[in-house]
Amino acid sequence: MKLFVYSPKYKCDIGEHVFHIRKYELLYERLIKSKVVKKENFILPQPATLEDLLLVHSKDYIDDLLNLRLTERTRYSELPLTKEIIDAYIFMAGGTILSSFLALETNINLHIGGGWHHAFSDKAEGFCYINDIAIAIRKLQQKKLVKKFAVIDCDLHQGNGTAHIFKSDKGVFTFSIHQENLYPIKQKSSLDIGLDDFTTDDVYLEKLSFALEKIKEFKPEFIIYVAGADIYEKDKLGNLKITKEGIKKRDEMVLNFAYDNKIPTCITLAGGYAFDIEDTVDIHYNTCMVMLSLVGNRKKLKRKRES
């Protein structure tokens, strides 16, 4: 069973940066070393095609990216503009597309990458060049496989690019729970919960529970879960006080919600900038373990029904 999408081609040289792009490789290695999954549980993505990119992004913006032009459309990025980096982001967009299609087949899939929710249709922002979340949704819409989507964005930062892209699309419910007094300039999601600085586990989980009830009323047929690790109390970019255990409970809440309501779910990992990269990897590993626990429960239930 292909449970994870990952490619070593996500690794690229971004220089000295708060974003440790090595986290993907480290997470893959930990999953294999721990023997909780095997190499055959992973599948390599292909890069998103030009046609895929243009489902969301403007032709002028994609032309700037592919030709590495510093323009009004690309200059808001906080990453270098190199072929190696753009190629990695195009591969990750392909990864989220693949992960979404696999989730439709198997109910759940985790992409060790993606979640680039700050990219707008016509410009880069933050660490995001390509909005893989939006591209995957548009691809499923194009194929007429899903009518109603929910984006459950639990990254530290508001998913402003995603919110803007889908602002007029009644088939997509965008939800973001984020630190309010922080980057970026906010856009209007279907539902936003802006958290006070120093918010703790209990308050966070209470507000998330409220949001999931609102999402349930929308009756989504597919979820993209943006499982950011940067809400962690020791993250460099935030001031929330969410523990590793609190983040694990967050994952359990979201994924159990999807499981209980029989909603196929693609998980993307998004941000994570802990002072110690191993903390970020721990958090992402816990997300993987929560997903694997659900997969195991499904298998047990199926065997019980068949016996």
Beta bridge partners of 4: 42, 110
Contact 43, 147 (CB under 8 A): no
Q: What angle do CA 121, 122, 124 make, to 5 degrees?
A: 90
Distance between CA 128 and CA 270 in Å, rounded? Answer: 10
| pLDDT tens sequence across 201-222 | 999 999 999 999 999 999 999 9
Helix 201-218 to helix 244-260 angle, to the nearest 10 degrees? Answer: 20
Per-residue confidence (pLDDT) for residue 300, from 0 to 100: 58
- Give the pLDDT band (50/70/90) at residue 288: very high
How far from chain centre, in Å, is Cα 289?
16
Q: What is the CATH number of domain 4-306?
A: 3.40.800.20
Where is average pLDDT lowest: 8-12, 161-165, 226-230?
8-12
As a whole number, mean pLDDT of residues 97-111 equals 97
Q: Between 12 and 281, name the one with better pLDDT.
A: 281
As a whole number, mean pLDDT of residues 284-305 equals 80
Please state, as a whole number, how many other Cβ atoms lie within 10 Å of the Cβ of residue 142: 11
Per-residue confidence (pLDDT) for residue 15, from 0 to 100: 87
As a whole number, mean pLDDT of residues 69-74 equals 96
Q: Is the pLDDT of residue 145 over 90?
A: yes
Q: Please, is 185 exposed, middle or buried when counting C-beta atoms within 10 Å of its C-beta (0-12, 13-18, 19+)? A: exposed
Distance between CA 263 and CA 256 in Å, rounded? Answer: 10
Q: Which residue has the tokens 């009518």?
A: 147
- Give the pLDDT band (50/70/90) at residue 94: very high
Q: Average pLDDT over the chain, rounded to whole?
A: 95
Per-residue confidence (pLDDT) for residue 105, from 0 to 100: 95
As a whole number, mean pLDDT of residues 99-124 equals 97
Per-residue confidence (pLDDT) for residue 305, from 0 to 100: 52
Per-residue confidence (pLDDT) for residue 160, from 0 to 100: 98
Question: How many alpha carbons fall within 13 Å on the CB side of residue 192?
Answer: 19
Share of the chain above pLDDT 90, in %: 93
As a whole number, mean pLDDT of residues 245-258 equals 98
Per-residue confidence (pLDDT) for residue 1, from 0 to 100: 82
DSSP state of 148: -
Q: Which two tokens stand for residue 186?
A: 């906010």
Q: Is the pLDDT of residue 231 over 90?
A: yes
Q: Is the pLDDT of residue 302 over 70?
A: no
Beta strands at 42-43 and 149-153: parallel, antiparallel or unpaired: unpaired
State pTM to two decimals: 0.95
- Give the pLDDT band (50/70/90) at residue 190: very high
Where is average pLDDT lowest: 37-41, 181-185, 233-237, 294-298?
294-298
Distance between CA 202 and CA 275 in Å, rounded? Answer: 24
Q: Is the pLDDT of residue 47 over 80?
A: yes
Q: Is the pLDDT of residue 132 over 60?
A: yes
Helix 244-260 to helix 277-306 angle, to the nearest 10 degrees? Answer: 30
Q: Between 98 and 304, name the one with better pLDDT.
A: 98
Contact 184, 160 (CB under 8 A): yes
Q: Is the pLDDT of residue 303 over 60?
A: no
